[in-house]
Amino acid sequence: MNSFHEVWENVSIYCRSRIHEVAYNTWIQTLQPVELKNSIVTVRAKSDYQKLIVESHYLELLSDGFEEIFGFPITVQITVGETEPQKQNTLLDETENKYTFDNFVVGSSNKFAHAASLAVAKDPGHAYNPFFIYGSPGLGKTHLLNAIRNEIKKNNPNMTVVYTQGESFMNEILEAINNVSTVDFREKYRKADVLFIDDIQFIAGKEATQVEFFNTFEALYRDNKQIIVTSDRLPKDIKSLDERIRGRLEMGLMADIQQPDFETRVLIIRKKAQALNFHIPDIVVQFIANQLKNNIRQLEGIVNKLYAYHNLGEEPTLSGASTLINEIKKDDMPEPITIDQIIENVGSAFDVTPADICSGKQNAEIANARHIAIYIARQVTGLPLKTIGKGFGRNHATVSASLKKVESDIKRNTRIKATIEDIIKNITAK
Ligand code: ADP
Ligand code: MG
C-alpha cells in the first residue's frame, strides 16, 4: 500500500462491514484522512457535531481498523474543518508521479495519442505544436499529459514546465485581476518552455480568461515553446470557445482517445494489479473487463477495492467483483443536478456570485445571469416552474418571464446559445 489515502480506503471498508450502513454513510464516509505521524492518525470531521459523535461512538472502531491494516496499535484523533489545505497541490503532485509512459497501456483506442505524446515528449516545441488530446472522461488524457510532463522533466531538467488545469487557470486569472497582479500571472505563464493545460474546455465563454490564454498562447507559440492541451471534446464542439483560440488549437495536432477494447481493458486491469503486486484470477479479470467498458478510472477503482479486501483477508472472486461492479454502476447513474449547482456554474461563467443571482438586484449583468440560470435549471432538471422559482427565491411568473426572455435571446443570438450549451455540458459532465 503506498499512500495514506489507500490505507484510509481499507479502514473505511473495515468500518463499513461492522456498523449499520446509515451510520457508516453519515459518520464515517464523510471523514477525511489528514495524516499519520508517530502512530497517531488524524482524521478530519466536517463539523463539531460529527467530531463529537465519532469520538463518543466510533473511535475504537477506527483505531481497530487502523491496527488491522498496520499491525500495530494506532491512536486516532479527530479535527474539524471544511477542506484540506493545499488539496489542489497534493493532488497535482500525486498525479505527477503516478502517471508515466511505462504504466500506460497502449491499445488500438489510444495508439495514436500515445505515439504523438511520445514524439512531443522527445522533442518539445518541434514535433507537434500545439498538441491537443481529446476524449471522454476517464480514458487517459490526464495520464498521457503527465507522462509527457515527466518525460520532459527527466530529459530537460532546465526547461521551465508549467502545468495547470483549465479551471485553475481561470481562477488564477480572476484572482490576479482582483488583486491587480496580472503581471505575476503573465510572468509565470510566459516564461514557460512547456505549457500544459488539462481540461481546457472550462475556459470557454470566460472573456478575460480567454483573452489571457490567447495572448499567452501567441507569446509562447511565437518562441517555439510547446503547448499541450486536453479537452473532453474537439475545439469545434466547445461552443463558446473564442474563435481565435479554436483556430490556434486546431492548427497543431489533434489526437483522440477512444474507449478501450476488451483486450486493452484486460491488460489495464492486469497492469494495475501488478503495480500493487496483487494477483487477480484470469476469470475475474475477464469478468470485470466484460462488465466495465467505458471508463478506465472505474477499472482502476475496482482493482483498488479488490486489493483493499485482499488486505483484509478476502481474495478476489467472481461474486465479490460482481457486487463491486453493481455498486459502481449504481454510482454511475448521474446524480440529479441541483439548482444550487446550476447557479454556481452560471455564476462562474458570468463572473457573478450565486448570492447576486438569487438577490433582487436588477443590473444588467446579474439579471442576465439570473435569466440564464433559470433557463438552464428548467432545461436540466425539468422541475416545475414553481419549484425552480423557489430555488431562486422567486415566483412562478418571474420564472416564466425569464424562460421567455432567454428563448427569444437564443433565437436572435447564436453566442448566447453556444454559451448555454457549454454551461449545460460542463454541469452534466462533472
Ligand atoms: P481523463 O483525464 O481522460 O479523464 P485519466 O487520465 O485521469 O482520464 O485516467 C483515468 C484513470 O485511468 C487514471 O488513473 C489512469 O491512470 C488510468 N488510465 C487511463 N488510460 C490508461 C492506460 N491506457 N493505461 C493505464 N492506465 C490508464
Ligand atoms: Mg483528466
Cell reading at 34: 489528514
Q: Cis (ω within 30 of 0) for the bond into 130? A: yes
Amino acid present at 368: N
Q: Which residue has the cell 495514436?
A: 112
* Distances from the Cα of 110 to the Cα of 25, 125, 139, 288, 341, angstroms: 38, 22, 9, 20, 33
User: Does any domain span residue 328?
Assistant: no
Q: Give the CATH number for residue 282.
A: 1.10.8.60
**Is residue 34 a part of any domain in this protein?**
yes
What percent of the chain has pLDDT above 70? 95
Judging by beta carbons within 10 Å of its beta carbon (0-12, 13-18, 19+), is residue 267 exposed, middle or buried?
middle
Please indicate whether residue 206 or residue 148 has the higher confidence score (pLDDT).
148
Q: Output the CA 330–ligand 1 centroid distance in Å.
A: 21
- Any idea what DSSP says for residue 56? I
Q: Do the domain assignments include residue 367?
A: yes
Quickly state the pLDDT bin for 199 (edges 50, 70, 90).
very high
Instruction: Tell me, yes or no, whether 206 and 171 share the same domain.
Output: yes
End residue of a domain, out of 256, 275, 293: 256
User: Which of 240, 256, 272 lies at the terminal end of a domain, its last residue?
Assistant: 256
Exposed/middle/buried for 177, CB within 10 Å: 0-12, 13-18, 19+?
A: middle
Please tell me whether residues 126 and 24 are part of one structural domain. no
CA of 256 to the centre of ligand 2 (A): 13
* Shared domain check, 168 and 242: yes
Q: Is residue 259 within 8 Å of 298, Cβ to Cβ?
A: no
At residue 408, the pLDDT reads 94
Any idea what the CATH number is for the domain that residue 385 is in? Answer: 1.10.1750.10
- Which is the closest atom of ligand 1 to the Cα of 260? 23
Does residue 271 fall inside a structural domain?
yes
Give yes or no: residues 299 and 373 share one domain: no
Give the residue-averaged pLDDT of 325-348: 85
CA of 230 to the centre of ligand 2 (A): 8
Q: Is residue 184 part of a domain?
A: yes
Q: State percent of the chain over pLDDT 90.
A: 63
For position 91, what pLDDT does the model report? 46
d(CA 231, CA 170): 15
Assess whether the C-beta atom of 300 lies below 6 angstroms from ligand 1.
yes
Query: Half-sphere exposure of 117 toward its Cβ, with a 13 Å CA cutoff?
Result: 30
Return the pLDDT at 318.
94
Q: What is the pLDDT of residue 36?
A: 81
Among the atoms of ligand 1, which is closest to the Cα of residue 271?
A: 25
Is residue 92 assigned to a domain? no
Looking at the CA of 101, name the nearest ligand: 1
Tell the burial category of 164 from Cβ atoms under 10 Å away from its Cβ (0-12, 13-18, 19+): buried
Contact, 229 vs 131, CB < 8 A? yes
- Is 331 part of any domain? no
pLDDT of residue 93: 53
pLDDT computed for residue 149 by the predictor:
96
- 253 C-alpha vs ligand 1 centroid, how far in Å? 21
Q: 324 in a domain, yes or no?
A: no
Residue 200: what residue type?
I
Last residue of a domain, one of 256, 272, 307: 256
Residue 333 confidence (pLDDT) above 80: no
Q: Which of 48-52, 156-160, 185-189, 247-251 has the lowest mean pLDDT?
A: 48-52
Contact partners, residue 300, CB within 8 Å, separation at least 6: 268, 272
Q: Ligand 1: does its nearest atom lie under 6 Å from the Cβ of 259?
A: no
Based on the fold, state whether residues 251 and 190 are members of the same structural domain.
Answer: yes
Contact indicator for 27, 58 with CB cutoff of 8 Å: yes
Pocket test for ligand 1, best of 5, 94, 139, 165 (most atoms within 8 A of CB): 139
Q: Using CA positions, which residue lies closest to atom 20 of ligand 1?
A: 140
Of 127, 130, 164, which Cα lies nearest the Cα of 250? Answer: 130
Q: How many CA atoms lie within 13 A of 406 on its CB side?
A: 24
Ligand 1 atom nearest to CA at 99: 16
Looking at the structure, tell me whether residues 165 and 248 fall in a common domain: yes
Q: Which numbered atom of ligand 1 lies nearest the CA of 106?
A: 23
* CB-count burial class (<10 Å; 0-12, 13-18, 19+) for 207: exposed
Q: Greatest CA separation found in the chain?
A: 69
- Any idea what the CATH number is for the domain that residue 164 is in? 3.40.50.300
pLDDT above 80: residue 38? no
The Cα 250–Cα 243 span in angstroms is 11
Residues 218 and 266 in one domain: no
Same domain, 250 and 267: no
Q: Ligand 1 test: best mutation among 5, 296, 328, most atoms within 8 Å of CB? A: 296
- Indicate if the pLDDT at residue 425 is higher than 90: no
Band of residue 406 on the pLDDT scale cut at 50, 70, 90: very high
Same domain, 288 and 234: no
Please state the atom number of ligand 1 nearest to the C-alpha of residue 139.
3
Q: What is the pLDDT of residues 215-239, one digit of tens each?
A: 999 999 999 999 999 999 999 999 8
Q: How far is the CA of 169 from the centre of ligand 2 (A)?
A: 15
Q: Is 233 in the pocket of ligand 1 (CB under 6 A)?
A: no
Residue 365 has pLDDT above 50, yes or no: yes
Residues 358, 344: one domain? yes
At residue 1, the pLDDT reads: 53
Ligand 1 mean position to 140 CA, how many Å? 3
pLDDT of residue 203: 93
What would the grid cell of residue 382 be? 425539468
pLDDT at 96: 61
Q: Is the CB of 297 under 6 A from ligand 1?
A: yes
Domain boundaries, position 160: 98-256
Report the domain count for the chain.
Answer: 4
The arithmetic mean of pLDDT across residues 61-81, rounded, is 88
Q: How far apart are CA 275 and CA 61, in angstroms?
A: 30
pLDDT tens digits for range 106-138: 999 999 999 999 999 999 999 899 999 999 999
Q: Identify the CATH number of the domain in which residue 13 sits.
A: 3.30.300.180
Do 218 and 311 reside in the same domain of the chain?
A: no
pLDDT of residue 162: 96
Burial of 6 (0-12, 13-18, 19+ CB in 10 A): middle
Residue 85: pLDDT above 50? no
Q: What is the predicted pLDDT for the residue at 264?
A: 97
Crossing angle for the helix pair 318-332 and 282-291, to the nearest 10 degrees: 20
Query: Are 68 and 105 found together in one domain?
Result: no
pLDDT at residue 2 in the model: 53
